[in-house]
Amino acid sequence: MVKMLRVDRRLIHGQIAFSWTAYLNVDCILVANDDAAGDDIRMTTLRLAKPKNTKLIIKSIDDSIAAFKSGKTDKYKIMIVVENVDDAYRLAKEVDDIQVINLGNVKARDDSKPYKGDQSVNLTKEDQIRLNELMTLGKSVEIRMVPNDGIKRFKMDI
């Protein structure tokens, strides 16, 4: 069962390891990232940052989709972490079990701007279109850094 998909450029860090895993009561974190899945040093670093007693899986986006479709993930309560909106979109379009997309820390790029003044969430026009499309599919898109923060619902701002 997917509890939440979080977009966070940092992947695993203190907010994920302590706040979100406890709040969501997950027993598995899936880092879905093409670069990390092919980088032994990055995988080692992510393993060091994971919380004790929580399984960590690091897969490419395509391999993550295949794992969900095969049923291999059914026995876990999973939090998925991706680095950007593009990866979140690819996963959420293909995996019906993903119902909540959380925007936590979206990296600024040349063609992005802070979403409604929030310096931690920087979106391009294309990001907003994709998030809006996911909402039309029944997915919830929220913005919050940690569980105690009030939920801000995403609404297209272009």
Give the CATH number of the domain where residue 119 resides. 3.40.35.10
3-class DSSP state of 6: strand
What residue numbers bound the domain in which 29 lies?
A: 2-153
Name the residue among 88, 113, 107, 94 with its Cα closest to residue 32. Answer: 88
H or E element in which residue 68 lies: helix 61-70
Q: Do 135 and 141 meet the contact criterion of CB atoms below 8 Å apart?
A: yes
Residue 88 in any domain: the answer is: yes
Average pLDDT, the chain: 94
Number of domain units in the chain: 1
- Given this model, what pLDDT does residue 157 score? 73
pLDDT digits (tens, 9 = 90+) for 26-35: 999 999 999 9
pLDDT digits (tens, 9 = 90+) for 55-66: 999 999 999 999
- High-pLDDT (> 90) share of the chain, %: 89
Q: How many Å apart are CA 32 and CA 126, to the nearest integer?
A: 20
Residue 145 pLDDT > 90: yes
Catalytic residues: 13
Predicted pLDDT of residue 21: 95
**In what helix (H) or strand (E) does residue 111 lie, and over which residues does it extend?**
none
